[in-house]
Amino acid sequence: MIQQLTLWDLPPANPADSTLPFNNFKALPNPQIAAQLKDAAFQLSPEIDRLKNSAISQQRPTLRRARIAEAMYQRGIALERIQCWLNALAKEHESGDISQCLYQVRSKSALIILAEMLSWQASEITDFFASNHPDDIKKRRSLHRCGITSPRLLSEAIAHLNQLAIKPHDSRILEIRRAENDLVGRRIPGYFPSPQEVVNLIIKHANLLPGLRVLEPSAGNGELATGIREAGCEPDVIEIDFHLQQILLLKQFNIIATDFLKFHPIDPQWDRILMNPPFDEEITHIQHAYSLLAPNGLLISVISNSVNSNTKSKKYRQFRDWLESVDATTYQLPDGVFLKSRIRTTGVKTQLLILATHSLVPD
């Protein structure tokens, strides 16, 4: 079967030649090319997901693993940009509003080459076309197959790609990632971020409702605070470490104090206090937090198993007596749950402690 082609299906013999009619380039809507580009964009999704959510990023964090995971994440972002370009070009082919310089760009490989050139100046483009370096020759051949055969067309292609609407990457999110990666290997006393499993359990028991005042008094990098926010309440947070404070600010949390044990507000009225305190100061933190609860308030805290197992320490014996007096409830957390923490892990066995000023302890 012979396929009938329109004039616009044929590549220009030399798009840079000003004597040819292609300088008055006008494409027609081409749903077939649009479908090809959309399919190429769709095919990238598994690879983007693999890079942005790599297996190594789920492993016990070390500095080396964090660097590898971040490099993979950045590659995923770069590939996501290519995917957005493919979809944008597909829309232009659907409408017939495709520029001559990108008309024959149909694959990710050409866009990957062009992505490397986005910030190039005119002199760099000229040098590229004059270069005899094997890599440059190979790239020129790839671009020639796409109809980009001159410095002018390359300049136009770069300019057009820079103007295409692509999915924006919030620079703040990337800054947060860099700041959190910098925490790997850094020794911060008492800092072990709440793993997602623990965050989910705390939120489940907290019975958060719109309008409740919620406090996270040892917020770290905001793992638990993020869970509170996602449940519909914007928490007040406290954090003593400067580097963690900067991450909380990037995440736009409301830091109301830096040293929780020196925090003595005139009118403590928090309906919920949800916390993961430093294990070596957990008793002091929990009792101080309890004093800040509003009537009918609820406190939920991670605690170490030392609360039950340490029989020699007078401090722990008195704390157990106090917990009994306020009708506390505890739930054993799975062994090794804090080995799943992002950034920093510990094998300490832990429980969930629930205290209510009246009768809000869940079943």
| pLDDT tens-digit map of 36-52 | 999 999 999 999 999 99
State both tokens at 297. Answer: 């308030």
CA distances from 85 to 37, 66, 160, 229, 319 (A): 9, 29, 10, 33, 61
pLDDT of residue 24 exceeding 60: no
Mean pLDDT (the chain, rounded): 88
pLDDT reported for residue 90: 94
CA distances from 36 to 3, 7, 72, 93, 113 (A): 17, 19, 27, 10, 19
pLDDT of residue 6 exceeding 70: no
Give the pLDDT band (50/70/90) at residue 293. very high
Beta bridge partners of 355: 299
Domains and CATH numbers, the chain: 7-163 (no CATH), 188-356 (3.40.50.150)
State both tokens at 242. Answer: 């400067």
pLDDT reported for residue 167: 58
| Better-predicted residue by pLDDT, 286 or 312 | 286
Length of the chain: 363
pLDDT reported for residue 166: 62
- The terminus-to-terminus CA distance of the chain in angstroms comes to 72
Longest dimension (CA), the chain: 95
Pairing of strands 236-238, 214-216: parallel
Q: Which string of b and e fits 246-280 if b means at least 16 CB within 10 Å?
A: ebbebbebeeebeebeebeeeebebbbbbbbbbbe
Instruction: Yes or no: say if 261 and 286 are a contact pair by the CB < 8 Å rule.
Output: no
pLDDT digits (tens, 9 = 90+) for 136-152: 999 999 999 999 999 99
pLDDT reported for residue 62: 85
pLDDT of residue 334 exceeding 90: yes
Instruction: Yes or no: say if 93 and 68 are a contact pair by the CB < 8 Å rule.
Output: no
Instruction: Yes or no: say if 305 and 349 are a contact pair by the CB < 8 Å rule.
Output: yes
pLDDT reported for residue 165: 59
For residue 254, give the H/E element and its range. strand 254-257
The residue whose two tokens read 């907290």 is 206
pLDDT of residue 19 exceeding 60: no
pLDDT reported for residue 3: 44
pLDDT reported for residue 169: 62
What is the Cα–Cα distance from 58 to 83, expressed in whole angstroms? 25
Which region among 21-25, 76-80, 231-235, 293-297 has the lowest average model confidence (pLDDT)?
A: 21-25
pLDDT reported for residue 63: 84
- Classify residue 321 as left (phi > 0), alpha (psi -120 to 50) or beta: alpha
Which region among 58-67, 188-197, 220-229 has the lowest average model confidence (pLDDT)?
A: 58-67
Global pTM reads 0.71
pLDDT digits (tens, 9 = 90+) for 265-292: 988 789 999 999 999 999 999 999 999 9
CA distances from 235 to 96, 101, 202, 225, 356 (A): 50, 51, 14, 6, 19
**For the chain, how big is the Rg over CA atoms in Å?**
29
pLDDT reported for residue 361: 43
Residues 6+ apart with CB under 8 A from 79: 44, 47, 48, 51, 108
